């Protein structure tokens, strides 16, 4: 049975409907990539899983989210709080501001295991030092005593990963963990995070818009477009044989070494606005293959020769 | 180390250094009054009443022949203890109320804000007078009255700070790691909101000394024979043409203490670089 199973969730924020029928699951020890452009609903999906939607005034109107066999939708806040950090941990986008500026780094990591595992201050500290070392930060003792402003962005992001790992969660949701960092640091952080997750047999939901990160880290990929799942497939299949034209375009957009100068293309058109989604398949205005059927009828997410895709003409 | 750095910077500035020295003197007087005062504060000597300042009595004697300097030194005790206790209570209550109102919002926030704004619309002296009229004069009721009179200021300041801080990413990140409201308020929000409140508390202590003296002047504060600067000035009004020193020296004590507190508070604001945050009230 899947560790996390998201079945056809739709989200409403006021009159808007930013997510529609999003479905995927994550097994224990699996790394699932969630890709899509800005505004496609990646972060919102993460918020659904963490039970944080009410904070931005959203509600889940349809579907179910089961974690370890337990339905999360409708769970009271106090129960959700017990899951957050302890069973499901979130690594946020912005390492620069995600640490309390006036509390020492060490105390911030310690408090997670004190809070969730009931450790004593000394055991918690030993555990934090161990975690800092595992994240390949030199001089763990010095870092444990440091304040956030003394650390670089890459260091802070590692500390945030340490905080996420501190209570031994089963699932980590990483919402664009390296977007704010230098490209050189990005690859390194992803690698360390993936290694730690693999070592511990944890499940990771990695949200990104970087297909390079996906190729480096993930077992399976879910492609979101305009609030719907466009395609879901294994990492090998999705790069070798994308079923959805949007995925094809995304992969075509990855710059390659030795590419002819000026030949790098974007996807024509823009992401449709949430207040004015096109009828039928939401990708149809940008799709080179769009037919009359695509404008009239939204394609269902169906099994293809491998994986699932929502396209009427995926085998074309 | 880091926590004391701004205080050091403040003391190094000229006005900060001078005011800190004066404040230290006042505090030492208050703490060690029995050792410093040349006479007892309540021994009357009617034949020596209204003696001019001189070698035996540096600040002269009052209308009962009591040594004025001794009474001023003991009076520092009354003024400081009343002001500091009252403001501490006020800051503690204001922090709690303001944090809860700012963090939770909703009906609780509206209720707190309504009451606080109501008291905010009256001068502190008026609130203090009303409260003393209700609970009766005395040292304890002065403390209670002063602490309630200044409550609005600290509640508003804290609430504004918390409302700005609660949307910070690190607060969100802590929630995402499963922290509860209590943890977030006391471990993350209040420590970050504390600095301006402490400085406002320091400045309010100066005002509270004046308020205590005013209440004492009206005979509503400390009751005789407990020396209080305000009450001493009040009794000096009757002798103002015969023995002006009775009203002048306590007045000077009040003025110098309050000016020092304000100057030191200013130096501290500069050192902490928080003028903008204080203005958010």
pLDDT in tens, B193-205: 888 898 899 889 9
Shortest Cα–Cα distance, B194 to chain A (Å): 11
> B172-186: buried (b, 16+ CB within 10 Å) or exposed (e) per residue?
bbbbbbbbeeebbbe
Tokens of B260: 């020092």
Q: Which residue of chain A comes nearest to B180, CA vs CA?
A: A81
Q: CB of B103 within 8 A of CB of B166?
A: yes
Region of poorest pLDDT, from A91-95, A225-229, B219-223, B277-281: B277-281
pLDDT > 90 fraction of chain B, expressed in percent and rounded: 30
pLDDT band at residue B2, thresholds of 50, 70 and 90? low
CB contact under 8 A, A98 and B169: yes
Question: What SS3 state is found at B78?
Answer: helix
CB contact under 8 A, B169 and A86: no
CB contact under 8 A, B177 and A89: yes
Q: CB of B163 within 8 A of CB of B99?
A: no
Q: Distance between CA A162 and CA A136 in Å, rounded? A: 11
Residues of B within 8 A of A180 (CB-CB) are none
Average pLDDT over chain B, rounded to an integer: 86
- Asked whether the ipTM of the predicted complex exceeds the cut of 0.90, the reply is no
Residue B242's CB: how many other CB atoms inside 10 A?
A: 10
| Averages of pLDDT over each 10 residues, chain A, 316 residues | 88 86 90 88 88 85 89 87 88 83 91 89 92 89 91 88 90 86 83 89 90 87 90 89 87 80 78 82 84 84 84 73
CB-based contact, A103 to chain B, within 8 Å: yes
CB contact under 8 A, A98 and B177: no
CB-based contact, A164 to chain B, within 8 Å: yes
Per DSSP, helices labelled H in chain A are: 42-50, 77-83, 105-117, 121-134, 140-145, 153-165, 183-200, 211-217, 235-240, 245-252, 292-296
Q: Which residue of chain A comes nearest to B184, CA vs CA?
A: A100
Burial of B106 (0-12, 13-18, 19+ CB in 10 A): exposed
Task: Report the pLDDT averaged over residues B4-26.
Answer: 85
Residues of A within 8 A of B192 (CB-CB) are 100-102
Q: Distance between CA B7 and CA B22 in Å, rounded? A: 15
Shortest Cα–Cα distance, A61 to chain B (Å): 22
Residues of A within 8 A of B188 (CB-CB) are 100, 103
Shortest Cα–Cα distance, B93 to chain A (Å): 23
Q: Distance between CA A156 and CA A161 in Å, rounded? A: 9
Q: Does the pLDDT at position B60 exceed 90?
A: no
Residues of A within 8 A of B172 (CB-CB) are 92, 98
pLDDT band at residue B279, thresholds of 50, 70 and 90? low
CB contact under 8 A, A164 and B192: no
- Which of A79, A102, A116, A179 is the best substitution to test chain B (most B C-beta atoms within 10 A)? A102
Q: Which residue of chain B comes nearest to A49, CA vs CA?
A: B176
Residue B123's CB: how many other CB atoms inside 10 A?
A: 10
Q: Distance between CA B223 and CA A291 in Å, rounded? A: 95
Question: What SS3 state is found at A61?
Answer: strand
Burial of B130 (0-12, 13-18, 19+ CB in 10 A): middle
CA distance between the termini of chain A = 34
Q: Does the pLDDT at position B1 exceed 60?
A: no
Tokens of B149: 């009179």
Shortest Cα–Cα distance, A136 to chain B (Å): 22
CB contact under 8 A, B179 and A89: no
Beta strands at A31-35 and A220-225: parallel, antiparallel or unpaired: parallel
| B65 vs B111: which has the higher pLDDT | B111
Beta strands at A16-26 and A4-13: parallel, antiparallel or unpaired: antiparallel
Question: What is the total residue count of chain B?
Answer: 281
Q: Look up the pTM and report it.
A: 0.76
Burial of B279 (0-12, 13-18, 19+ CB in 10 A): exposed
CB-based contact, A94 to chain B, within 8 Å: yes
> A25-37: buried (b, 16+ CB within 10 Å) or exposed (e) per residue?
bbeeebbbbbbbe
CB contact under 8 A, B169 and A103: no
Across the interface, which of A82, A92, A101 has its CB nearest the CB of B173?
A92
Find the Cα–Cα–Cα–Cα dihedral A102, A103, A105, A109, rounded to 10°: -140
Tokens of A18: 């930013």
Across the interface, which of B175, B178, B188 has its CB nearest the CB of A100?
B188
Interface of A with B in 207-226 (CB under 8 A): none
Q: Distance between CA B268 and CA B202 in Å, rounded? A: 10
Q: Distance between CA B29 and CA B227 in Å, rounded? A: 13
* Residue with the two structure tokens 């590692």: A158
Phi/psi for B238 (5° steps) reads -70, -30
Strand order in the sheet with A31-35: A88-91, A171-175, A203-208, A31-35, A220-225, A228-234, A308-309, A302-303
> What pLDDT does A220 receive?
92
CB contact under 8 A, B179 and A163: no
Across the interface, which of A50, A81, A89 has its CB nearest the CB of B180?
A81
Strand order in the sheet with A4-13: A16-26, A4-13, A58-67, A70-71
Q: Distance between CA A274 and CA B168 in Å, rounded? A: 27
Shortest Cα–Cα distance, B196 to chain A (Å): 15
């Amino acid at each position: 049975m899947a560790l996390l199973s998201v079945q056809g969730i739709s989200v409403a924020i006021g009159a808007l409907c930013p997510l529609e029928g999003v479905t995927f699951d994550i097994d224990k020890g699996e790394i699932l990539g969630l890709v899509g452009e800005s505004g496609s609903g990646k972060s919102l999906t993460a918020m659904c899983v963490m039970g944080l939607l009410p904070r931005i005034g959203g509600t889940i109107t349809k579907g179910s989210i089961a974690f370890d066999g337990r339905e999360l939708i409708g769970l009271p806040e106090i129960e959700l709080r017990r899951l957050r950090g302890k069973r499901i941990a979130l690594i946020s986008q912005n390492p620069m501001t995600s640490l309390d500026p006036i509390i020492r780094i060490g105390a911030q990591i310690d408090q997670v295991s004190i809070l969730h595992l009931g450790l004593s201050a000394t055991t918690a500290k030993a555990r934090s030092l161990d975690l800092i070392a595992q994240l390949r930060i030199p001089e763990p003792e010095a870092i444990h005593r440091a304040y956030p402003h003394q650390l670089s962005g890459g260091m802070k992001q590692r500390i945030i990963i340490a905080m996420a790992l501190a209570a031994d969660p089963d699932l980590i949701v990483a919402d664009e963990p390296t977007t704010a960092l230098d490209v050189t640091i990005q690859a390194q952080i992803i690698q360390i995070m993936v290694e730690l997750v693999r070592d511990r047999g944890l499940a990771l939901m990695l949200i990104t818009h970087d297909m390079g990160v996906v190729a480096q880290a993930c077992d399976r990929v879910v492609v979101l477009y305009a609030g719907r799942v466009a395609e879901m497939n294994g990492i090998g299949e999705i790069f070798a044989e994308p079923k959805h034209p949007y995925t094809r375009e995304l992969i075509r957009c990855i710059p390659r070494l030795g590419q002819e100068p000026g030949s790098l293309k974007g996807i024509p058109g823009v992401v449709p606005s949430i207040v004015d989604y096109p009828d039928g398949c939401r990708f149809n205005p940008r799709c080179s293959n769009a037919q009359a059927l695509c404008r009239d009828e939204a394609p269902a997410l169906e099994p293809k020769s491998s994986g699932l895709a929502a396209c009427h003409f995926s085998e074309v | 180390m880091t926590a004391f750095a701004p205080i050091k910077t403040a003391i190094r500035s000229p006005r900060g250094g001078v005011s800190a020295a004066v404040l230290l003197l006042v505090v030492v007087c208050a703490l060690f009054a029995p050792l410093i005062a040349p006479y007892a504060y309540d021994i009357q000597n009617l034949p020596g009443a209204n003696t001019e300042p001189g070698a035996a009595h540096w600040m002269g004697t009052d209308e009962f022949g009591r040594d004025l300097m001794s009474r001023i030194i003991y009076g520092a005790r009354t003024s400081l203890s009343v002001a500091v206790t009252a403001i501490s209570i006020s800051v503690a209550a204001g922090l709690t109320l303001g944090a809860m109102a700012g963090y939770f919002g909703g009906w609780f926030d509206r209720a707190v804000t309504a009451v606080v704004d109501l008291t905010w619309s009256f001068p502190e002296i008026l609130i203090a007078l009303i409260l003393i009229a209700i609970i009766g004069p005395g040292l304890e009721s002065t403390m209670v009255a002063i602490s309630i009179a200044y409550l609005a200021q600290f509640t508003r300041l804290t609430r504004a700070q918390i409302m700005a801080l609660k949307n910070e990413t690190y607060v969100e990140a802590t929630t995402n790691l499963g922290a509860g409201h209590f943890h977030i308020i006391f471990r993350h929000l209040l420590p970050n909101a504390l600095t301006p409140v402490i400085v406002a508390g320091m400045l309010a202590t100066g005002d509270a000394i004046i308020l205590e003296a005013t209440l004492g002047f009206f005979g509503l504060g400390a009751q005789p024979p407990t020396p209080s600067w305000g009450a001493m000035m009040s009794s000096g009004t009757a002798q103002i043409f015969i023995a002006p020193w009775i009203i002048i020296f306590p007045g000077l004590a009040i003025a110098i203490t309050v000016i020092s507190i304000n100057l030191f508070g200013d130096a501290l604001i500069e050192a902490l670089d928080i003028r903008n945050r204080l203005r958010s009230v």
